Amino acid sequence: MPSAVTYTVQKLEQDLGVPLFDRSGHRARLTPAGVELLREGRHLLRAAGDFPDAPPSVTGGYQPSTRENTDLAQVDGVVRAAAANLNATCLRLVQKSGDGASS
């Protein structure tokens, strides 16, 4: 039975209609199509990594994270507002001491 990686690569090759690996030798080697897919994939991953830093005019207003300063009495309201307005919400709560240090 092929591994999950082998199955996924074979499925990708089938979906694309081109072989990505030459499996004729002892070791699989990338075909020209595989090299191009790898190059483009790396480019896309770099672009995706840069996306959170893009200005709102580029991202269509998407903001992957935000920082809110609030006192502890208001946390419940902030959490409820975030949960009501977002499909996937991840909150990181950091308590700061009077001198600004995180605890």
More confident residue, 11 or 72: 11
Q: What is the pTM of this model?
A: 0.47
Q: How many residues does the chain have?
A: 103
pLDDT digits (tens, 9 = 90+) for 46-97: 776 666 665 665 556 555 566 666 666 666 776 777 667 665 556 666 777 6
What domains are there in the chain, each with its CATH number?
A: 4-57 (1.10.10.10), 65-103 (no CATH)
Give residue 45's pLDDT.
Answer: 79
61 token code pair: 């207003």
Whether the predicted pLDDT of 101 surpasses 60: no
| Secondary structure (3-state) at 30 | strand
Q: Return d(Cα 20, Cα 36) in angstroms, integer.
A: 9
Q: Return d(Cα 61, Cα 47) in angstroms, integer.
A: 17
Looking up tokens 């499925």 gives 11
